[in-house]
Structure formats: structure tokens, C-alpha cells
Amino acid sequence: MFASCWKDKSPEDLIRLKDKFKSTVSSFEKKKETANENVTKGLETLNALKTALEGTKNEDKEFAKVYGDWEKVNKRVENLNKEYEDLKEHASNLFNAMETQTNSLSDEASRKTLNGAIEKARAKYNGTLSNTSKAIEKLRLLHGDAVEVVKALEVTAALNSFDNINDQMKSIEGRVDGIMQELNVAVVEGKKLYEKEITELGE
């Protein structure tokens, strides 16, 4: 824990910021899981739509359902992005507070050691945040591609030709796990920031 890094009791502001960051990491993790659940449901209804079309079942009802499910995916992605912005802000506040406290230490050697560790940890986590932003953008693209598939299905249903749509759907399905794994890195690295000693973070 961070408290083990300081000889004196951590100031209230640092403790508060650490708790705020911890809460944001937890919230981001929950929103990531919700987005994953919605994407999974969206894929299920997309497949159900294709099956229904191939069997010439209730097309209008199936189209309405799949559009609705992917609209939910879009909302979850935007919620996740908002949480990411909070995560980025609270991480920055936490690092700034750690630097402020470190620079108040009278021992130069301690200041140098801790500031070096903080700098490494900040650079590492900023890299994680950058990758997280890219993963969220991939989710946006996934949503856009899924909607394109639905639109294409509306056309191909009349032609009864689904070969190209099958390839597009496989592409969408094949990207989901990788994106979720990338998003999970932000959670894992975030937990390290409040679970480990600062001197271990740059290792």
C-alpha cells in the first residue's frame, strides 16, 4: 500500500485521492463488464436475425430487436469512455499528490528514489491509458460495423444471399475477446497502483 512508502502519516488529500482512484478503477471494471455483456447479447441477436431471415420468419420484429440491442451497446461504449476520462483524471491527480508529498520530504535521497519510481509508474500507466483509449475506439468501430451488417442484411434478405454477411459477422465476433482483454489491462494496472508499494511500480 502507498502508506508503507512514507515515514510519516500520509496527508488526508493523498488518501482521499487514492480512494477516489480505487473507486474509479472499480467503476470502470463494472462498465467494461456491462459493455461486454451488451456486445455479447448484440452478437446473439445479430445471429438470431440472420437465422430468422434465412427462415423468412418475422423480419420486422427481429430487425427492431437487433437495432435496439446494438443501440444499447453504443450507450455502454459511451459510458465506458466517460469512465475512462474519469480514470485518466483521477490517476493524474493521484500521481500529482504523490509528487507533492515526495517533494516535501527533507531527505534528498528519499526524494530522488521516490520521484524516480513515481515517474516510471506514471509513464507506464499513461501507456496503459493510451492503449485503453484505442481499445474503446475499437469498440466504437465494432458497433459501427455491426450496424452496417444489419443494414446490409436488410438488402440481402431480399436476395437471399448471406455468404458475404457470414464473413463480416465472423470478423466482428472474432474481435470482441481481444478488445475486452485490452480493456482489462487498465483495470489490472490500475489495481497495481493502489495495491503495491510505489517503489515496485516501475519494475
DSSP secondary structure letter of residue 9 = P
Output helix, strand, coil percentages for the chain, rounded to the nearest 5.
90, 0, 10
Give per-residue pLDDT as tens, 33-88: 988 888 888 888 777 777 776 665 556 677 777 778 888 888 888 889 999 999 99
User: What is the band of 183 on the pLDDT scale with cuts at 50, 70, 90?
Assistant: confident
Residue whose C-alpha is closest to residue 18's, from 166, 141, 191: 191
Amino acid at 136: I
Helix (H/G/I), strand (E/B), else coil: 121: helix
Helix (H/G/I), strand (E/B), else coil: 107: coil
